[in-house]
Amino acid sequence: MLKIENLHVRVEDKPILKGISLTIRPGEVHAIMGPNGSGKSTLSNVLAGRDGYEISAGSVTYQGRNLLEMAPEERAREGVFLAFQYPVEIPGVSNIYLLKAALNAVRKHRGLHELDAIDFLKMIKDKVKLVEMNEQFLYRAVNEGFSGGEKKRNEILQMAVLEPRLCILDETDSGLDIDALKIVSDGVNSLRCEERSFILITHYQRLLDYIKPDFVHVLAQGRIVKSGDADLALELEDKGYGWIDQQLGAVA
Amino acid sequence: MSAAEQTIEKLISQEYKQGFVTDLESDTLPPGLNEEVIRIISAKKDEPEWMLQWRLEAYRHWLTMTEPRWAYVDYPPIAYDAISYYSAPKAKEGPKKLNEVDPKLLETYNKLGIPLYEQERLAGVAVDAVFDSVSVATTFKDKLAEAGVIFCSMSEAIRHHPELVRQYLGSVVPAGDNFFAALNSAVFSDGSFVYIPKGVRCPMELSTYFRINAAKTGQFERTLIIAEERSYVSYLEGCTAPMRDENQLHAAVVELVALEGAQIKYSTVQNWYPGDEDGRGGIYNFVTKRGDCRGAHSKISWTQVETGSAITWKYPSCLLRGDHSIGEFYSVALTNHRQQADTGTKMIHIGKNTKSTIISKGISAGRANNSYRGLVKVLKSAENARNHTQCDSLLIGDRCGAHTFPYIEVKQASARIEHEATTSKIGEDQLFFCRQRGLSAEDAVSMIVNGFCKEVFKELPMEFAVEAQALLGISLEGSVG
Ligand SMILES: Nc1ncnc2c1ncn2[C@@H]1O[C@H](COP(=O)(O)OP(=O)(O)OP(=O)(O)O)[C@@H](O)[C@H]1O
Ligand SMILES: [Mg+2]
């Protein structure tokens, strides 16, 4: 589904990603962990197509196409979804309006007819239940005055509505209380299927207690320095990133 | 320039669609202003002597005045002698019915999207169309007459309802009120007149379309709306002009009088030609609009969407004289390229328990300057006066400016005044977020700008809201479910 090869990215002439390679097949869940500032959000932004990043080397292929050539909205319509680490507020635009506009843009791209108000409302109410949100949130302005946890849940709601192929969750678990973490995880698990893949960026093992990853990667200083299965996360939780540094030191 | 700015510029810099000229034979006075010109205007309109004297007095007063320069706008001196003060489409005789109106004119209105026939049949909107200086056709007269509502051109009102005009004209905006109002009082050529009798709810929206067609003419329309006790009227005003290289002056005066328990809702979608990208041409829109809540429990609401004009100088105001009277001002002002807008409102609290609400949304792009200037004044007599002001500015790019000049004068300790102001930029973050959800950049900007203006748009009558949306190059946020 996604193949990242030797990806180098600079921001304002500063190298941030220094040769990332990663292959994700349909249905897989990959967790990416790593210290603050190591480049995790940079990677997710580059995959989603944000401006301001210079790709100095490498390639990204998504479903057989060159992802880096596609406009952000095209990537989204082709099924790339990014749940933001810091969701933005859009005053005056209601959540439900955004959801409807986004869904119809995606559907149109896929050659489906636009949903009418009744069908849309029926669908959306099911999805709202999935993330256990109060329906009133649908009619509030996008993320305006939402608590940190509510914003994150709102991201998952959008994901559930848009039914993407590749879901990138950038620290969606940060700032969630125990109950919300469970709800978000259940939401993600219910979306897991053979065609859908996930990249979970997280600092904490507890998310991975709920969503069991197939692979865990450690990103440090712009490189994937270690990859393993779910047990790697447990080891990290135990020993910290210092343990990796030591191992790397030993190699170098 | 960032992707966001480019998108926005593209959106707002759409071609001015109303910029065509209609080739009509017209009866135009040579440029210049003196007492003789005023006598000619008055004579052309068959006015009574008192009207002529009123004009002449205003003119003499105007000669003693100087043009105000306090607004945050910049323009070269206006040569008042180079302007023609009267231009009318030539007709053998004044049209009595719609089918006597020059077909070319009707075609123009159709191009502007206001088919008079259509409206007559469908919309239930009565339209008074002012083309250059004279009122061309007023539709729906009969139905309105049944309700006792008078809706006609100002010239007609002067001839047929002189007692009403004499009683109210200049009673809200005196002839010598300010430089532009004085000029208007001297030379106004037409405009709309509305009278709603006691207890009558006007059976339809009333609407006027102003259009400047001829070159080198000024447009000085005069509108007077009188709402008797417990009556209600909603009035809409739209404006367009052809594209021309030189600047054209538009100095209108609008007076509203609301008697006890009456309500007037006045909405404007102003789309005068704004000039080109480099600031050549465009309308100077120097307008005095004022409403007088004369009776207790009366209410006046101004809603405006200002997207046109090279320069806008406009402060629709309310005099809250009656106890418990209410004044409202909802405004969206969009400036792009070299456009300049200095607009806002004045709420003068005189009666007890008077209330006012001001919501102003300024959007600025290109090298435009957008200023909000507002005065909230509470006199000693206005016990328990309340005001809420909210002024939001949205900046697009970093070469434009937004300025807020709120003035507050309170002479009564029980007054409660609240003022909130915000300035924001359409953020790359917001735009990227929307695109990440599958929306095109255009749709994303539309949605964000639309969201920003929502509180004002919801005050507009439906068909105007749609037009306002289209004007901003955006599509209305439909209510889902
Ligand atoms: N626009 C930018 N300008 C300058 N530096 C940037 C920019 N964006 C990212 N960086 C730098 O790139 C590095 C990686 O940032 P990134 O946000 O990808 O880290 P992260 O792994 O997501 O960290 P965290 O765990 O704190 O979220 C940081 O040092 C950051 O300061
Ligand atoms: Mg991050």
| Model pLDDT, residue B225 | 97
pLDDT tens-digit map of B154-165: 988 999 999 999
Its pTM stands at 0.77
pLDDT tens-digit map of B49-82: 999 999 999 999 999 999 888 878 788 888 888 8
CA B298 to chain centre: 21
Say yes or no to pLDDT of B481 above 60: no
Distance A50 CA to ligand 2 centre (A): 14
Residue A37 near ligand 1, beta carbon < 6 Å: yes
Residue A38 near ligand 1, beta carbon < 6 Å: yes
- The mean pLDDT of B140-153, rounded to a whole number, is 83
CA distance B440 to chain A (A): 6
- DSSP string of A29-71? EEEEE--TTSSHHHHHHHHHT-TT-EEEEEEEEETTEEGGGS-
CA distance B428 to chain A (A): 9
B441 in helix, strand or coil?
helix
Residues 454-473 of B with CB under 8 A from A: 454-455
| Model pLDDT, residue B123 | 43
Average pLDDT, chain B: 81
Weakest-pLDDT range from A79-83, B78-82, B342-346, B374-378:
B78-82
Distance B430 CA to ligand 2 centre (A): 18
Which domain covers residue A56, as residue numbers? 2-251
Chain B environment of A139 (Cβ under 8 Å):
none
Do A8 and A17 touch, CB atoms closer than 8 A?
yes
CA distance A39 to chain B (A): 18
CA distance A80 to chain B (A): 8
Tokens encoding A15: 């190298």
The residues whose Cβ lies within 5 A of ligand 2, an ion, are A 40-41, 85
How many cross-chain Cβ pairs, A to B, lie less than 8 Å apart? Answer: 92
The amino acid sitting at A35 is: P
**The dihedral formed by the CA atoms of B137, B142, B148 and B154, expressed in degrees to the nearest 10:** 10
* Pick from B432, B440, B451: CB nearest A50: B432
Chain B environment of A51 (Cβ under 8 Å):
2-3, 428, 432
**If you take atom 9 of ligand 1, which residue's CA is the nearest one?**
A42
Sort strands A166-170 and A65-66 into parallel, antiparallel or unpaired: unpaired
Task: Name the more confident of B118 and B30.
Answer: B30
Residue B160 burial (CB count, 10 A): 12
Say yes or no to pLDDT of B103 above 70: no
Q: What are phi and psi of B317, to 5 degrees?
A: -125, 165
**The dihedral formed by the CA atoms of B162, B166, B169 and B171, expressed in degrees to the nearest 10:** -150
For A239, the enclosing helix (H) or strand (E) is: helix A230-239
Report the alpha-carbon distance of residue A116 to residue B196 in Å, rounded: 42
Distance B150 CA to ligand 1 centre (A): 68
- The mean pLDDT of A35-46, rounded to a whole number, is 95
Distance A231 CA to ligand 1 centre (A): 27
For B403, the enclosing helix (H) or strand (E) is: strand B401-410
* Pick from A76, A84, A109: CB nearest B435: A76
Average pLDDT, chain A: 92
Which ligand lies nearest to the CA atom of residue A43 in the structure?
1
Distance B36 CA to ligand 2 centre (A): 76
- The mean pLDDT of B93-102, rounded to a whole number, is 55
**If you take atom 27 of ligand 1, which residue's CA is the nearest one?**
A36
**If you take atom 2 of ligand 1, which residue's CA is the nearest one?**
A11
Atom of ligand 1 nearest to the CA of A171: 27
In percent, the amount of chain A with pLDDT more than 70 equals 98
Comparing CA positions, the residue from A104, A233, A117, A56 lying closest to residue B439 is A104
Say yes or no to pLDDT of B398 above 90: no
Beta-ladder partners of B120: none
- The mean pLDDT of A138-145, rounded to a whole number, is 93
Determine, for residues B436 and A117 on separate chains, whether the beta-carbon distance falls below 8 Å: no
Which ligand lies nearest to the CA atom of residue A42 in the structure?
1
Say yes or no to pLDDT of B283 above 90: no
Report the alpha-carbon distance of residue B212 to residue B442 in Å, rounded: 32
Report the alpha-carbon distance of residue B157 to residue A183 in Å, rounded: 69
Comparing CA positions, the residue from B274, B263, B404 lying closest to residue B331 is B404
Determine, for residues A76 and B428 on separate chains, whether the beta-carbon distance falls below 8 Å: no
- The mean pLDDT of A203-207, rounded to a whole number, is 89
Report the alpha-carbon distance of residue B113 to residue B116 in Å, rounded: 9
pLDDT band at B118 (very low <50, low <70, confident <90, very high): very low
- Structural domains counted in chain A: 1
pLDDT tens-digit map of B427-446: 778 889 999 999 998 788 87
Chain A environment of B459 (Cβ under 8 Å):
none
Predicted-complex ipTM score = 0.95
Say yes or no to pLDDT of B477 above 50: no
> Domain containing A235 — which CATH number?
3.40.50.300
Report the alpha-carbon distance of residue A135 to residue A156 in Å, rounded: 15
Strands (E) across chain A are located at: 2-11, 14-24, 29-33, 54-62, 65-66, 80-83, 90-94, 141-142, 166-170, 197-201, 215-220, 223-228
| Model pLDDT, residue A4 | 97
Comparing CA positions, the residue from B287, B211, B273 lying closest to residue B245 is B273
* Ligand 1 pocket: which of A33, A41, A223 to mutate (most atoms within 8 A of CB): A41
Q: Which residues of A116-155 are buried (b: 16+ CB within 10 A; e: fewer)?
A: eeeebeeebeebbebbebeeebbebbbbbebeebbbbbbb
Say yes or no to pLDDT of B122 above 50: no
**If you take atom 25 of ligand 1, which residue's CA is the nearest one?**
A36
pLDDT band at B468 (very low <50, low <70, confident <90, very high): low
Chain B environment of A121 (Cβ under 8 Å):
480-481
- Sequence-ordered list of residues with C-beta below 8 angstroms from that of A207, at least 6 positions apart, any chain: A31, A173, A181, A185, A200
Residue A151 near ligand 1, beta carbon < 6 Å: no
| Model pLDDT, residue B226 | 98
Do B104 and B22 touch, CB atoms closer than 8 A?
yes
**If you take atom 24 of ligand 1, which residue's CA is the nearest one?**
A36
Report the alpha-carbon distance of residue B379 to residue B410 in Å, rounded: 6
Strands (E) across B1-115 are located at: 26-28, 87-89
Distance A4 CA to ligand 1 centre (A): 19
Chain A environment of B435 (Cβ under 8 Å):
49, 71-73, 76
Sort strands A197-201 and A215-220 into parallel, antiparallel or unpaired: unpaired
Tell me how far CA of residue B201 lies from CA of A12, A128, A150, B262, B264, in angstroms: 64, 44, 47, 9, 10
* Pick from B436, B451, B455: CB nearest A90: B451
pLDDT band at B127 (very low <50, low <70, confident <90, very high): low
Tokens encoding B461: 């009558």
Residue A222 near ligand 1, beta carbon < 6 Å: no
In percent, the amount of chain B with pLDDT more than 90 equals 40
Say yes or no to pLDDT of B319 above 90: yes
Distance A89 CA to ligand 2 centre (A): 18
Report the alpha-carbon distance of residue A225 to residue A165 in Å, rounded: 27
Q: Does residue B284 belong to the interface with chain A, where contact is any CB pair within 8 Å?
A: no
Length of chain B counted residue by residue = 481
